[in-house]
Amino acid sequence: AQSVAQPEDQVNVAEGNPLTVKCTYSVSGNPYLFWYVQYPNRGLQFLLKYITGDNLVKGSYGFEAEFNKSQTSFHLKKPSALVSDSALYFCAVRDFLGEYGNKLVFGAGTILRVKS
């Protein structure tokens, strides 16, 4: 079965420093990977995705992620963190199995706290 793991419940970083939110995946076949961000009491906002092509994917709000097939990872990164980046981040993988092949399997989520 398709799955993703976010090994850190929380990541703390100082404003202006680079940030990394980790995600590893386990899939059958080629992975379709996604990052979403959730602010308190809101739905999820799409940040970026990897389907094919360049391993370095650039997304919204200055975020990027690197697809690493050998390490089965898709870590989310940003060169310089902002306090406003503080939120809950979800990694997800498309589940090609089952009746409808466009379901998403989510990780447990990682809380990012950026301190000024």
Partner 1 sequence: GAVVSQHPSWVICKSGTSVKIECRSLDFQATTMFWYRQFPKKSLMLMATSNEGSKATYEQGVEKDKFLINHASLTLSTLTVTSAHPEDSSFYICSAYLATGETQYFGPGTRLLVL
Task: Identify the three-state secondary structure at position 87.
Answer: strand
Partners of 112 in beta bridges: 11, 87
Q: To the nearest whole angstrom, how small is the minimum distance from the Cβ of residue 16 to partner 1?
A: 27
Q: What minimum distance in Å lies between the beta carbon of 26 and partner 1?
A: 16
Q: With binding defined as CB under 8 A, does residue 96 bind partner 1?
A: no
CA end-to-end span of the chain, whole Å? 41
**Scanning the structure block, which residue is given the tokens 């650039």?**
58
Choose which of 7, 12, 51, 60 interacts with partner 1 (CB under 8 A).
51
Residues 54-93 binding partner 1 (CB under 8 A) are 90
Minimum distance of partner 1 from residue 80's CB (angstroms): 26
**Residue 14 touching partner 1 (CB under 8 A):** no
Helices (H) and strands (E) in the chain, counts: 0, 12
